[in-house]
Amino acid sequence: MLQTRVIPVLLLGKMGMVKTIRFKHPRYVGDVVNAVRLFNDKEVDELVVLDIEATAKKRIQFDLIEQLASEAFMPLTYGGGITTADEVAQLLRIGVEKVVLNAALFTHPKLLSQIAERFGSSTVIASVDFKKNVWGKWQVYSHNGRRATGIHPVDFCRQCEAQGAGELLLHSIGTDGTMQGYPVEMMQQLAAAVSIPVIACGGAGSLQHMQQLAVHSGMQAFAAGSVFIYYGPHKAVLINYPDAATLRRTFDQ
């Protein structure tokens, strides 16, 4: 059985399902319900849906998320606009398996521990969104990359682990949507800083980018959007996902 997890990430924006570059310039890429159905056909093992507008709107689209959960044949993880443990309870009731926190890690600092205590650490993922600031120093950002926190990513990863996160989503803002690869050295540092599972996200343009990071860091989980949404040099929108044999050839080496 393949140990490496390769997870498509779908972004919800004002227009519907979108793709971004460095957390900016959202481009409409289709209907999210249809995308979930297509990933079903491709036998994806798990799926992440992030609503990048939910925090600003202060509203979780429960009806849509319930529809997605009912359509998905695989475990569904959701992030966006979560501020209370009761909202997490509702998401779990409608079929979500895990939740992702980002802005709430700063605006509601006790929420991560509350969720872990009430539902178990395996239910909650902390999203660590990071990039270099104007002085070239690594820093964590919140609110869809708009707010600098002044915290180094390594320190923040350790803090999230101590507060009860079951996993970390390590999201590289600087390479998001570029399909040019990960910031390997920083990903290595973050993976080594904690003992809980980590998921690399932001920059994958091929399975080889994931495989190279796996070799250098020991990471076993990779989330990506563009590589599973776009096809060809002109980035035509085409939902795609490698078959099981291709995944085994790539990672079981």
- Positions marked catalytic: 129
DSSP classification of residue 123: G
Token pair in block for residue 109: 């600092």
Among residues 72, 23, 65, 27, which one has the least CA distance to residue 47? 72
How far is residue 136's CA from residue 132's CA, in Å, rounded to a whole number? Answer: 5
How far is residue 248's CA from residue 230's CA, in Å, rounded to a whole number? Answer: 22
- Scan for tokens 């990903």, then name that residue: 187
**String of b and e for 26-65 (b: at least 16 CB within 10 Å)?**
bbebbebbebbebbeeeebbbbbbbbbbbbeeeebbeeeb
Q: What is the DSSP string of 15-57?
A: TEEEEEETTEEEEEEE-HHHHHHHHHHTT-S-EEEEETTHHHH
Dihedral of CA 157/178/104/164: which sign? negative
Residue 75 phi, psi dihedral angles, 5° rounding: -60, 135
Dihedral of CA 85/53/71/248: which sign? negative
Q: Please tell me whether residue 211 adopts helix, strand or coil conformation.
A: helix
